[in-house]
């Protein structure tokens, strides 16, 4: 009997050691050397205060719906949901946005995004066809391929029941939507950012002084503010491959999309509404300037949300 017990204890010990070393062998993610780390410092996201499995993080499927995504960009790993509509000489806004998340340094480009080399699932909308119908189609197609978060650095001031229905359907499928609030120095509602659907995260832009950037839209549907001036990215001209700095809520949104990906890597069971709630609950309430006014905002607090996400129960 004693021998049998000893044998069982030995086997259990081997299993425990195997599990321990398997877990420990997973590589923890660490941010690359990128100038946008300064933005993440502002968002209390660097250095990270929790361990995140790189394998888990890079398995979070990120979608990008934008205008002008260069499918041949060598420094991005793109899985095109539809064919790229980029024409040489045209603006490539979508390439700029995507590079903030996933650009990977190479011999001819000294720049990393926040998650270098991660696969990005892209839907390219020509700027002259941007409307609620094309946005609805993009959302519906993204929903079919299993993305977990979609970055939409585009907007329209036209509301549409069908567009809203597509957004609701995507969220019900477990997809978190991150949308830029717009750059018209206005209090107007833009869509999809202003849909008050749990799981749709509206992002405004901060300037270098941590005030609301004067050109950023500001209204009561904006969930969180992130840096939006002096953000480094691949330039928006397909004929070149240089790095420039850009301003706008379009650049703030991919920083938040990166944040959402970190949350989902830590706790894959989080629903879109839980992701939004975590972001808002842990953000720092600040009184700042916007044009000639004093306004309250939620300032991003990445580490605060990551710590809370580990064992989050709504």
pLDDT at 10: 58
Residue 22 lies inside a defined structural domain of this protein: no
Contact predicate 213/73, CB 8 Å: no
Residue 261 lies inside a defined structural domain of this protein: yes
DSSP code string of 120-185: EEEEE--GGG-SHHHHHHHHHHHHHTT-SEEEE---BS---HHHHHHHHHHHHTT-EEEEE--SSS
Lowest mean pLDDT among 84-88, 142-146, 302-306: 84-88
pLDDT higher than 60, residue 239: no
pTM: 0.90
pLDDT higher than 90, residue 4: no
Active site residues: 66, 93, 250
Q: Tell me which DSSP letter residue 191 carries.
A: B
CATH number of the domain that 107 lies in?
3.40.50.200
pLDDT at 128: 81
pLDDT higher than 60, residue 187: yes
Residue 21 lies inside a defined structural domain of this protein: no
Per-residue pLDDT reduced to its tens digit, 66-82: 998 988 888 999 999 98
pLDDT at 198: 98
Query: Based on the structure, what is the number of domains in the chain?
Result: 1
Residue 7 lies inside a defined structural domain of this protein: no
Residue 125 lies inside a defined structural domain of this protein: yes
Cα distances from 251 to residues 97, 108, 158, 236, in angstroms, run: 6, 23, 22, 12
The pLDDT mean for the chain works out to 91
Q: Which domain does 131 fall in, by range?
A: 28-309
Residue 18 lies inside a defined structural domain of this protein: no
Lowest mean pLDDT among 89-98, 204-213, 232-241, 270-279: 232-241
Residue 272 lies inside a defined structural domain of this protein: yes
Over residues 39-53, mean pLDDT: 97
CA–centroid distance for 275 within its chain = 12
Over residues 96-112, mean pLDDT: 95
Residue 172 lies inside a defined structural domain of this protein: yes
């Amino acid at each position: 009997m004693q021998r049998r017990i000893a044998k069982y204890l030995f086997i259990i010990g081997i299993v425990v050691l195997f599990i321990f070393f398997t877990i420990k062998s997973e590589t923890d993610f660490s941010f690359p050397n990128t100038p946008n780390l300064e933005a993440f410092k502002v968002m209390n996201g660097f250095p990270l205060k929790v361990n995140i499995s790189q394998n888990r993080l890079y398995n979070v499927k990120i979608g990008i719906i934008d205008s002008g995504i260069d499918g041949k960009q060598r420094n991005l790993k793109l899985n095109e949901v539809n064919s790229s509509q980029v024409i040489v000489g045209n603006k490539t806004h979508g390439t700029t946005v995507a590079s903030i998340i996933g650009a990977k340094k190479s011999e001819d480009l000294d720049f990393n995004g926040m998650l270098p080399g991660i696969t990005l699932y892209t839907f390219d909308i020509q700027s002259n066809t941007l409307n609620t119908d094309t946005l609805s189609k993009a959302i519906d197609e993204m929903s079919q391929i299993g993305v977990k978060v979609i970055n939409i650095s585009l907007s329209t001031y036209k509301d549409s029941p069908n567009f809203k229905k597509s957004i609701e359907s995507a969220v019900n499928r477990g997809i978190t939507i991150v949308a830029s609030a717009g750059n018209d120095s206005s209090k107007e509602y833009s869509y999809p950012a202003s849909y008050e659907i749990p799981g749709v995260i509206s992002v405004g832009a901060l300037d270098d002084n941590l005030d609301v950037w004067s050109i950023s839209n500001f209204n009561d549907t904006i969930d969180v503010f992130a840096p939006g001036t002096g953000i480094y990215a691949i330039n928006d001209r397909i004929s070149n491959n240089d790095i420039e700095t850009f301003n706008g809520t379009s650049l703030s949104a991919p920083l938040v999309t990166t944040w959402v990906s970190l949350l989902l890597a830590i706790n894959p069971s989080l629903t879109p509404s839980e992701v939004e709630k975590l972001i808002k609950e842990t953000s720092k309430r600040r009184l700042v300037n916007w044009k000639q006014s004093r306004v309250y905002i939620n300032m991003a607090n990445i580490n605060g949300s990551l710590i809370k996400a580990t064992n989050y129960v709504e």
